[in-house]
Chain A
Amino acid sequence: MSSIATTRIQRELKDIKESNNQSIKIELKSDEFNNLRGEIVGPSGTPYQDGMYKLSIKIPETYPFNPPIVSFDTRIWHPNISSVTGAICLDILKDQWAAALTLRTVLLSLQALLSAAEPDDPQDAVVAKQYKDNQKAFVKTARFWAQYYANAPGPRDTDCVEKLRKASEMGFYKDISLQALSTHSWDLENAIQYLTSC
């Protein structure tokens, strides 16, 4: 790892600790500076409110002249983030990266992305379609995922809990059932048909 990348990561970690921002966190995964773990809190006023989202951050050899590789470890229902792999579609992590950007600005941008999705530039086409066509189902699903995967507080939607229970009673894994139900906007019959066909 180049010296410039190492020194910069060290400084960035120090800056984040000093900044005292409770909603973002970055720590080393091991002694290496190229593998970090991040955490952001879901912004208030969104379905992700108070969820704890873990991120994996890989620092390339050429950092900061090339962007860090960031993905969600915690599963999330969002048009610009893959609901399966956690891959993120965000311009500053691709061609709009600038060397003067930092990990802190990246995490803040991710929080901003959670507040304002861009369904016209989707990473997950299924989620983006639901976001545009069936906003109610989208909010319901995103909130349930936040509670289910990201430990967001609050009472869970009884309809979701009930349908998820029914699907898993039929012998399907919970994660797969939840994915199928979410994809079919909580239409139990369609989701079961989908699950049996694959």
Chain B
Amino acid sequence: MSEEDSRSSEDETSEDEDINDYYNNNEDDFIDNSDVERGQDGEEIMTSDYYSSNEYIRKRMQELEYYDYQCLTGTEVEEKLAKDTETTAELLNISPPLAQLVLLANKWKITAINTRLKLSPVERGKLLVESGVIAVLPSHFKHRTEHKKLSLKSAVSCGVCFDVFPVSDVTSLSCKHMFCRQCWTQHIDFTVKEGMNAGIPCMENDCSVLCPIDFVEQFLKGDSARLYRDHLFRISVTTHYRCRFCPGVDCPVVLFAETPKPRRVTCKRCKMSCCFECGNEYHVPTDCETIKKWLVKCADDSETANYISANTKDCPACHICIEKNGGCNHIQCSKCKHNFCWMCLGDWKAHGNSYYECSKYKENPTMTNSSQQTQAREALKKYLFYFHRWENHSQSLRLESNARLKIQSQIEEKMNRSEGTWIDWQYLLRAGELLAKCRNTLHYTYPLAYYAGGGSEKALFEYQQAQLEVEIEGLAWKLEHAGEYQRGEVENQMDVCEKRTQTLLARFVAN
């Protein structure tokens, strides 16, 4: 455990005690905290205002979700990158442009590069080969190196345009694959214009050597040169493990964190926030991989699945999927010609006569659950169950995001009616903020629940999730009917909500 970790866990316990004090002092025991030791009674005298203040909420949120990051401008990032490049150049004893290639290939992890170098002396060579600084096998291009030994007056044929040039007009990378300057210019120009996602490679087949910046820039002029610099910066930031572009549209800010973790980062310029690790919307308690899987699944499946679920049923005989296209409930399967009732899925024979049993509710429908189609439908049901809850909460989040304005107008109204002062009603805004935060967490518990395995772990999680849901809806209700509830009631509810969220998050953050 690192020093930082142990410190934060200490903070947590002391914070727990504070909370405990708070409840005991107020003689509110709606939360069962008998398992928490009581301590330091009355040592800190705080008014209840402190406990509902922004400061207090922030402090408690910090415990679990506090994350140290910076919002940097392009120039600041470039300075950092330049510094990294210098360090690596010294480390590997190569020129900075070559060091940049090594960093790009290694996500700018200088420490990792350093540890590798210490492993064995061969690692340096391997690292340089993998990064595209030098070629794999020097023997591979023997015949080309021979050209170099020839005198300056001799002629060399370019491997791309097949023309013959004097030695002074051809050039190569460290791999010694000679090509004429005109071909290099065109090759680099085309690659830059196409986006150069994987760097600019040598033109020889099966050669993995990449062009360093100083080599490239001798062939570029004007717009192309600027474009190249832009691409290089973009690739540097996207590959850098400590950097992420702000998700806001056209926002130039680069988010920078010393220790990359799946935590919320918010751009100070455009206020957009995202998960630092994966760039998606912040998604505690679900991990990055699961949320990615879930979002892909939702994008692929939800509409089709909804339609299938809403409009089709399986034929009880052959299990083919049937879409009803008319009003009549007597269905004949077009595949197996089975006659059945759309309502109860029973054989139609029972429906033709006077004894029409379809309108009666049967406790145990005698449908077989074993066939593959039924299983597929069950899987679909499970997915839709979670998807609908997920959708529902995202809708609530959208609606509640407008709530701030509504609360503000409510506060003004109340002040106009001389019901308390502005400061008296601020807790409503805080409650709104907290509600959004907690609901966001709840929202992201559903993908986690969908992918979770069975067992006690899941049972506990589902219990915590249910508890949180109850409290969040309680808070939402109290906030929507703010006039009918006392400040104390709302604040208590806020506290419970927060505590439940923290409980649920604790495990995720620990991982």
Contacts and interface: CB of A to CB of B under 8 A. Distances in A.
Interface stretch (B35-43, B85-93, B182-190): B182-190
On chain A, which size bracket covers the interface?
10 to 19
B205 A65 contact: no
A95 B208 CA distance: 13
B186 A4 contact: yes
B210 interface: no
Contacts of A8: 160-162
Interface in A83-134: 92, 95, 98-101, 105
Task: Give the secondary structure class of B's interface.
Answer: loop
B183 A62 contact: no
Nearest to B159: A100
Classify the secondary structure of A's interface with B.
loop
B162 A11 contact: yes
Interface in B436-487: none
B205 A100 contact: yes
A98 B183 CA distance: 12
Interface string B149-182: 0000000000111110000000000000101001
A196 interface: no
A100 B203 contact: yes
A66 interface: yes
B346 interface: no
A68 interface: no
A64 B187 CA distance: 9
A98 B201 contact: yes
Contact of B190 (A7, A65, A95): A65
Nearest to A7: B161
B190 A62 contact: yes
A64 B159 CA distance: 11
Interface string B487-511: 0000000000000000000000000
B184 to A, nearest CB: 10
B212 to A, nearest CB: 18
A98 B205 contact: yes
B204 interface: yes
Interface string A1-21: 000100110010000000000
Contacts of A7: 161-163
B85 to A, nearest CB: 27
B208 to A, nearest CB: 10
Contacts of A105: 205
A99 B177 contact: no
Interface string B298-334: 0000000000000000000000000000000000000
Contacts of B206: 98
Contacts of B205: 92, 98, 100-101, 105
A8 B162 CA distance: 7
B407 interface: no
A100 B204 contact: yes
Interface string A33-75: 0000000000000000000000000000010111000000000
Given A4-B186, A65-B187, A66-B190, A100 B162 contact: no
Question: Which of A4, A11, A92, A95 is most buried by chain B, counting CB atoms within 10 A of its CB?
Answer: A4
Contacts of B161: 4, 7-8
Contacts of A101: 205
Nearest to A14: B162
B308 to A, nearest CB: 21
B164 to A, nearest CB: 12
Interface in B176-224: 177, 179, 182-183, 186-187, 190-191, 198, 201-207
Interface of A: 4, 7-8, 11, 62, 64-66, 92, 95, 98-101, 105
26 contacts: A4-B160, A4-B161, A4-B183, A7-B161, A7-B162, A8-B161, A8-B162, A11-B162, A62-B190, A65-B186, A65-B187, A65-B190, A66-B190, A92-B205, A95-B198, A98-B203, A98-B204, A98-B207, A99-B179, A99-B183, A100-B159, A100-B177, A100-B203, A100-B204, A101-B205, A105-B205
| 3 cross-chain pairs, A with B, having the tightest CB-CB distances, nearest first | A99-B203, A98-B205, A100-B159
